Structure 1
Amino acid sequence: MVIPVHDVNPVRRTPWVTYALIAANVAVFLSMPGMADSLTGAAGLARQCDLQAYLDHWAAVPQELIHHRMPRLVPTGEVGVGPHGPGCVVAAPGYDKSPELSVLTAMFLHGSWLHLLGNMLFLWIFGNNIEDRMGHLRFLLFYGVCGYAATYGFALFDAGSAAPLIGASGAIAGVLGAYLVLYPRARVWVLVPFLIFLPLRLPAWIVLGLWFVLQAFYSAGQGVAQAGTVAYVAHVVGFVAGMLLAWPLKPGTPPPPEPRGILFGRRTRRSW
């Protein structure tokens, strides 16, 4: 899997919405129970119960989205001792939850620093050009629509799941799909793990096409080691939604500049 680090595709205006989305995601992550100091690896039972209750309150749950009702019992965030030892206490929910609104709040929740930073890296690299092409408000609406499409697509695929669904990756997958449609020939600097991290400049259609193929492969039940924790179906649905929404903008999109004379980060001379 290649790691994108930069694209050669300048913008005409400051991508304020992209910056705001990144800032909001980071701020929400730092406010989640135990996430600010999760790099230390400390994760006691009390913190796990607190986080579980937080996610059940604010994350999107497929069962709730499809059946439009809350479960009878939810974690309270407290620790109790049962027949099998200490565990998280469950009780009737003491709050009202809108399943539709939970899709929006879930888009700003992340389960780890790696989850957060990976998503924000892709949004940072590819979001600015899509915002530049669409405009600030249309990009914000586009981002939300892709996030909703990805979440509901996953919920329809796994309607019986009671596991909280979190992360901005469905919406960001929509951004990647739009980038593939609008800027397939833009060059993207990537790091390829091959003994060392080898820097390469590849066309966006290769980088994003490979990303989509891997997501589709995993969503089909392959890659079992990761399939239990990553909503690959949501990535696929979000990506396709982004492609479809961006397609009408393709005819009027100017091509990105063609970089010349640069190979592996070093400027080269031409002989004429």
Structure 2
Amino acid sequence: MIPIKDYPGPRRRLPWVTWGIIAVNIVVFLYQVSLGPDAPAFMFAYSVVPVALTHGVPQTSLPGVPAHLPFHTPNPVYLTIITAMFLHAGWLHIGGNMLFLYIFGDNVEDRMGHLPYLVFYLFCGVIASITQVAIDPGSPVPSLGASGAIAGVLAAYLVLFPWARVRTIIFIFIFFTIVTLPAIILIGLWFLLQFFDGVASLSTVQQGMGGVAYFAHVGGFIAGLVITLLFRPLLRPPAPTSYPYLPRHSGAVNAREWWQRP
């Protein structure tokens, strides 16, 4: 499922923080690509490596890592929990993450405010990394990406705009279709996929294999959900037209009208 546009209602301020986060991620990724053969070493130096955090194992002693990394791991190593949020493993990785952040982040920032939203984003990313480390503390596989923090943003969107309409591309084998789904369905399905894929991945964790950090997504999502529910009474109320999925006339929602709206 790939969201391409949402309809949560008008914004009342420009999402400078969301745009800034996207810009920083893109700049870091382009720099990473420009490193050529040294790009993997750059990712390894600034990613979260669970065994380095839990056992103090130097990253240069891990399998497949050069004895002398051309980049210095942050000191203390726990700072990689922050730096890893701005690294990505490839074009699809960063493209997917930034698309989700672009679609859902602006309206969450509008409700939270710029600085609280930035703190919220970073906090969810930290909890996401901690969750992944807790699930697989002895792993030498680096964990990186903004998806844990973005999972928290999705959770906030789910709480604040549950019935906002989201245009979504759904792939079925080699075919695809575009449908309009309420956020509660789209994001709810996304979370369930992350959770069950995470449970299924536990066997690969036990074998010391790498893969998608599903539990980082789960941890970031739960953190975002809890924080948003706790602080929702303190957030600015939605704009009067924040719910365009409702028909303009009073009375019950007509399902056919809802689905036929753009």
The answer to whether the superposition gives a TM-score over 0.5 is yes
Letter in 2 for 1:117: G
**How much has 1:16 moved relative to structure 2?**
0.3
Greater helix share, structure number: 2
Alignment of 1:81-92 (within 5 A): 90-91=66-67
1:28 correspondence with 2:28 = yes
Extract unaligned runs of 5+ from structure 2: 248-256
Q: 1:210 aligns with which of 189, 206, 218?
A: 189
* Structure number, greater radius of gyration: 1
CA distance in 2, matches of 1:27, 1:238: 24
Find the counterpart in structure 1 of residue 221 from structure 2.
239
**How much has 1:68 moved relative to structure 2?**
4.0
**How much has 1:71 moved relative to structure 2?**
3.8
Find the counterpart in structure 2 of residue 40 from structure 1.
none
**How much has 1:248 moved relative to structure 2?**
2.4
**How much has 1:222 moved relative to structure 2?**
5.4
Find the counterpart in structure 2 of residue 230 from structure 1.
212
Assess, with a 3 A threshold, how the Cα gap between structure 1 residues 29 and 89 changes in structure 2: closer, same or farther. closer
CA distance in 1, matches of 2:20, 2:148: 18
**How much has 1:69 moved relative to structure 2?**
4.8
Structure 1 segments (4+ residues) deviating >4 Å: 222-225, 260-266
1:257 correspondence with 2:243 = yes
**How much has 1:57 moved relative to structure 2?**
1.2
Cα distance per residue 1:160-193 (max 9 Å; x no partner):
0111111000000010111111111111111122
SS of the counterpart of 2:151? helix
CA distance in 1, matches of 2:123, 2:177: 36
Assess, with a 3 A threshold, how the Cα gap between structure 1 residues 191 and 107 changes in structure 2: closer, same or farther. same
Find the counterpart in structure 1 of residue 47 from structure 2.
59
> More displaced, 206-215 or 249-258?
249-258
SS of the counterpart of 1:6? strand
SS of the counterpart of 2:137? coil
Q: Please, what is the CA RMSD of the aligned residues?
A: 2.6
**How much has 1:223 moved relative to structure 2?**
10
CA distance in 2, matches of 1:69, 1:196: 46
Greater strand share, structure number: 1
SS of the counterpart of 1:160? coil
Assess, with a 3 A threshold, how the Cα gap between structure 1 residues 264 and 119 changes in structure 2: closer, same or farther. farther
> What is the total number of aligned residue pairs between the two structures?
240
SS of the counterpart of 2:166? strand
Letter in 1 for 2:119: L
SS of the counterpart of 1:107? helix
**How much has 1:132 moved relative to structure 2?**
0.6
Cα distance per residue 1:83-140 (max 9 Å; x no partner):
xxxxx77325684532221111111110110000000010001101111111000100
**How much has 1:7 moved relative to structure 2?**
0.8
Q: Is the 8 A contact 1:59 1:105 kept in 2?
A: yes
SS of the counterpart of 1:150? helix
Q: 2:82 aligns with which of 83, 104, 110?
A: 104
Q: Percent identity?
A: 44
